Copies of this chain bind each other. A is one copy, B any other.
Amino acid sequence: MTPSLDKKAEQHPLFQKVEKVRRRPAKVRDTTVTLAHGSGGKAMRDLIDDIFVKTFDNPILSQLEDQASFNLAELATLGDRLAFTTDSYVVDPIFFPGSNIGELAINGTVNDLAVSGAKPLYLSCGFILEEGLPIETLREIVKSMKIAADNAGVKIVTGDTKVVHRGCADKLFINTAGVGVIRSGINISAQNLQPGDAILVNGYLGDHGTAILIARGELALETTIESDCQPLNDLIDKIIEICPKVRALRDATRGGVATVLNEFAMSSEVGIRLFEPELPLREEVQGVCEILGLDPLYLANEGKLVLVVPKEYAETVLEAMKSHSAGENSHIVGEVIASPPGVVLLQTAFGTERIVDMLVGDQLPRIC
């Protein structure tokens, strides 16, 4: 060490300038996102400090290390397995009736953890921002993410920000990954279905898909339908408490209930029979589907569970679900049958049946 040089440095005019800039509190002064916000330098640091760290507000994120870390022994008090998942969110428009891309990015990943029987704990968050995105839009979305994270009882602990030129992305895309701990003794899997099991859903189907479709404004339709975007972990806690033997659980997002049930039927090599009159559908959603020739079974949801339980638990589970705010309109909608394996049948009110296959084409791009 050479104290004389250090002394010299402190008196250096550049050092004075550096100190002056650094003493300023971190604050994004631009009104729109610029390429500099993704450069790794001062502008990015200000964006991270002023928007992400300040809003998400937790001591793990604030350390700004390249990774978050957690004590494994503490995690082990919650269960015996770690769950890990990811989803990217590209929904268009980014604000839509009832929710926005930020809230969706939290609830979607919380739900993907919760359906394994895990307690969701920590999320990562990767932003891809288009140059020119208004800073106020970003602030609003980040605020929604914080509220959603608090609601679901999770923390956003690590993240990343990239900026691409105008026209190289559409406003913003968000990736969240998440970790949680699966309770000991729980075994939830698409492979567990057995003939005789009951199939339940926790409320009206197709709200999210319909809300997005209407929000795009390409159709001359007006409705009051809002996205059902909500966290499902608390409802799932209740269900598991009553029925630790729950066979399979999944949230019916892209591809809707039909896709989840087809995956269940194929994984377990069983058949599934749905009872059409039992499917909870809002009149408005049914109306939109009839006008547009859509099948509500394929419409996306962002707060709807499909669950399979042994038949003897069906009524108790249903009652518990109905008494929870996320499950007031729960229904038993079908049963597992031995044959035909891998096939989902829909039984109409008239007793006729049709096959509900996997979606072949694309119903609605950028739904989540």
Contacts and interface: CB of A to CB of B under 8 A. Distances in A.
A353 B15 CA distance: 11
A12 interface: yes
Interface residues of A, number: 118
Contacts of A7: 339
A325 interface: no
A305 to B, nearest CB: 12
Interface-central residue, A115, A263, A298, A366, by most chain B CB under 10 Å: A366
B126 A87 contact: yes
A115 to B, nearest CB: 6
Interface string A293-310: 000001010000000000
A3 B127 CA distance: 52
Nearest to A12: B355
A124 B89 CA distance: 15
Contact of A359 (B42, B76, B168): B42
Copies in the complex: 2
Given A72-B80, A73-B80, A122-B84, A365 B39 contact: yes
B85 A70 contact: no
A35 B359 contact: no
Contact of A35 (B263, B273, B354, B365): B365
A181 B163 CA distance: 30
B70 A82 contact: yes
A158 interface: yes
A33 to B, nearest CB: 12
Interface stretch (A51-59, A136-144, A171-179, A235-243): A171-179
Interface in A1-53: 1, 3, 5-10, 12, 14-15, 18, 22, 34-36, 38-45
Interface stretch (A223-231, A275-283, A340-348): A340-348
A263 to B, nearest CB: 8
Max chain B Cβ within 10 angstroms of own Cβ: one of A80, A160, A363: A160
A185 to B, nearest CB: 13
- The dominant DSSP class at the A interface is mixed
Nearest to A189: B65
A6 B83 contact: no
A362 interface: yes
Nearest to A163: B365
B72 A361 contact: no
A162 interface: yes
A319 interface: no
Nearest to A76: B72
A154 interface: no
Nearest to A351: B5
Given A82-B75, A181-B72, A164 B170 contact: yes
B124 A177 contact: yes
Nearest to A87: B160
A330 interface: no
Which 8 pairs of residues, A with B, have the shortest CB-CB distance? Answer: A41-B359, A40-B255, A40-B254, A177-B177, A86-B124, A67-B85, A39-B362, A175-B175
16 contacts: A6-B271, A6-B339, A9-B355, A15-B343, A18-B357, A41-B361, A43-B360, A67-B115, A72-B82, A82-B82, A90-B162, A124-B177, A163-B365, A168-B169, A169-B173, A179-B179
